Amino acid sequence: MSRPVAVPPWLAHALRAQRGPVPWNAVTRGALSAGPLLAGAVLLGRTSLGVVAAIAAMLAGINDRPGSRRAAVHRIGGPALAGAGGLLVGTYAGDHAGAVALTFLLAGLGLLAGGVSAVGPVASGAGTQLLVASAVGAGMPLPDSGPARALAFLAGAGWLLGLRLLLPTPGSLAGDFRFDGERAAVAAVYDAVADLLDAVGGDDALVRRAALTAALDHAQDALAGPRLRRYASSSAERRLHAQYAAALPLAEAATALAWAGDAVAGRASEGPRRLAAAVRGNTPTGPLPAPHRSAPALRALDDALLHAADAFDRGRPSDLHTRRRTAGELLRVAHGAGGREYGLRVALCFGAGAAVAQALHHARWHGQHQHWYWLPATAVFLVKPDLGPLVSRVLCRAAGTVLGAVVFAGFAAVLPRPGGLVALVAVSGALIPVATRHFAAQTAVVTVLVLALVMVGGEPQASVSRIGETLLACAIVLVVGHLPMPGQRGGAVRARLAAASAAAQAYLNQVLGESADRAERWTLRREAYRTLAEARAAIALAAAELPPLARHSAGADQIVATLERLVDTTTACAVHLDDSGRLSPRHARQLAELVEEFGQGRGPVGLSLPELPVAGLPGHAPVLATSSQAPCAADHGESQRVGDRNGK
Q: How far apart are CA 118 and CA 469, in angstroms?
A: 27
The alpha helices in 461-584, defined as continuous H runs, are 463-481, 491-512, 518-543, 547-550, 556-580
Which residue, 299, 52, 26, 21, is CA-closest to 157?
A: 52
Q: How far apart are CA 556 and CA 539, in angstroms?
A: 7
Tell me whether residue 584 is in a domain.
yes
Asked whether 193 and 506 are in contact (CB, 8 A), the reply is: no
The total of structural domains in the chain comes to 2
**What pLDDT is recorded for position 180?**
64
Tell me whether residue 341 is in a domain.
no
From residue 104, alpha-carbon distances to 58, 83, 351 in Å are 28, 19, 7
Asked which of 262, 295, 322 is the last residue of a domain, the reply is: 322
**What pLDDT is recorded for position 616?**
44
Asked whether 397 and 443 are in contact (CB, 8 A), the reply is: yes
Average pLDDT over residues 75-104: 90
What are all long-range contacts of 127-131, with beta carbons under 8 Å and residues at least 24 apart? 127/82, 127/346, 128/79, 128/380, 128/381, 128/384, 129/59, 129/79, 129/80, 129/82, 129/83, 129/86, 130/82, 130/83, 130/85, 130/86, 131/86, 131/106, 131/346, 131/350, 131/376, 131/377, 131/380
Q: Does an H or E element contain 427, and which?
A: helix 419-435
Which of these ranges, 204-208, 384-388, 594-598, has the smallest mean pLDDT? 384-388
Asked which of 269, 288, 322 is the last residue of a domain, the reply is: 322
Tell me whether residue 124 is in a domain.
no
Using one digit for the tens of pLDDT, what is the confidence trace for 548-567?
777 777 778 888 888 999 99
Encode burial over 3-19: b for 16+ CB neighbours within 10 A, e otherwise.
Answer: eeeeeebbeebbeeeee
Tell me whether residue 553 is in a domain.
yes
Using one digit for the tens of pLDDT, what is the confidence trace for 343-366?
888 899 999 999 988 887 766 544
Count how many Cα atoms sit within 13 Å of the Cα of residue 92 in the half-sphere of its side chain: 10
Evaluate if residue 646 carries a pLDDT over 50: no
SS3 482: coil
From residue 222, alpha-carbon distances to 27, 186, 306, 448 in Å are 21, 9, 25, 33
Tell me whether residue 547 is in a domain.
yes
**What pLDDT is recorded for position 230?**
42
* Residue 6: partners with Cβ closer than 8 Å, 6 or more residues away: none
Percent of the chain topping pLDDT 70: 83
Asked which of 306, 322, 338 is the last residue of a domain, the reply is: 322
Report the Cα 85 to chain-centroid distance in Å.
23
Tell me whether residue 43 is in a domain.
no
Which residue, 189, 221, 193, 178, is CA-closest to 65?
A: 221
Tell me whether residue 100 is in a domain.
no
Q: Give the structural domain span for 601.
A: 491-605
Q: Does an H or E element contain 181, and which?
A: helix 180-199
Average pLDDT over residues 395-421: 91
* DSSP one-letter string for 227-263: --TTTTT-HHHHHHHHHHHHHHHHHHHHHHHHHHT--
Per-residue confidence band for 12, with pLDDT thresholds at 50, 70 and 90? confident
pTM score: 0.82
Asked whether 331 and 533 are in contact (CB, 8 A), the reply is: no
**What pLDDT is recorded for position 212?**
93
Evaluate if residue 569 carries a pLDDT over 80: yes
**What pLDDT is recorded for position 333?**
76
Tell me whether residue 333 is in a domain.
no
Asked whether 91 and 143 are in contact (CB, 8 A), the reply is: no
Asked whether 425 and 34 are in contact (CB, 8 A), the reply is: yes
